[in-house]
Amino acid sequence: MKSDTIEYKLDGGIAILTLNRPEARNAISRRLVDDLGSVLEAVDATSEARTLIITGAGGKAFCAGADLKERAGMSPEEVTAFLATLNRRFTDIENFRLPVIAAVNGAAFGGGLEMAMAADIRLAAESAVMGLTETRLAIIPGGGGTQRLPRLVGMAKAKELILTGHRIDSREALKIGLVNRICPLEDLLDRSRELASEIGEGGPIALEQAKIAINKGMATDLQSGLAIESEAYARCIPTEDRLEGLKAFREKRKPVYKGR
């Protein structure tokens, strides 16, 4: 599909979605939110895709957050409707059937960081800077930040970051568990591809069910989570891929999974 705000390509089983508004630091506009939904649908419909990487165009910003110039022209009702759509898009990322890696190549503020937090795994350039800075604008994070950040870094640290609006560098983000890995900017996409390829070697149905089990399980108590895990495991048992995995193990070769 064609989009003015998002570049999408499929490369060896890895879908790469690039926010493409470098002149606006890849800020989130209404058009970008609409395009994001369309691109996610396109990736979901592609049986060749095994993993998804989300990154930003240019080396300065992953996503600087909401397009404040556009936001200034919105009515309160329009802002409310926009945030509802934005939340749906980020939830779509969180619940996407494929493993999602955010390659944070630069500044990730406000909605930009919220988008990255909706991904399963975050890799960041050493030069990246992150923060939920909304309280400095007399608002609060509205794209899931007040809920996802505490789940990633703990309540006390999340409160500190949200209430102060502080920006942190990639090393601090790694230290508190906000990102999984950091690397030089020039290596970020290659490292993200390597990780995506490694993940993609697993059985597609198993990867999907593992993600579901983790996401749903973390939203409930342990016993309910264990039941969710059992249900997800059961969905893997009758698959052709499970039998292929056992056969490949016996034959000492790499399995060829087909998502069936």
Q: Catalytic amino acids?
A: 66, 111, 114, 134
Query: Which residues neighbour 182 within 8 Å (Cβ) at sequence distance 6 or greater?
Result: 123, 124, 125, 126, 128, 170, 171, 173, 174
Question: 19 vs 50, 97, 162, 204, CA distance in Å?
Answer: 20, 20, 25, 26
**Calpha distance 177→99 (Å, rounded):** 18
Per the CB < 8 A criterion, the answer to whether 81 and 74 are in contact is no
Strand order in the sheet with 129-131: 61-63, 107-109, 129-131, 168-169
In degrees and rounded to multiples of 5, residue 166 shows phi and psi of -65, 145
b/e code 175-213 from CB counts within 10 Å (16+ = b): ebebbeebbebeebbebbbebbeebbebbbbbbbbbbbb
Element (H, E) at 154: none
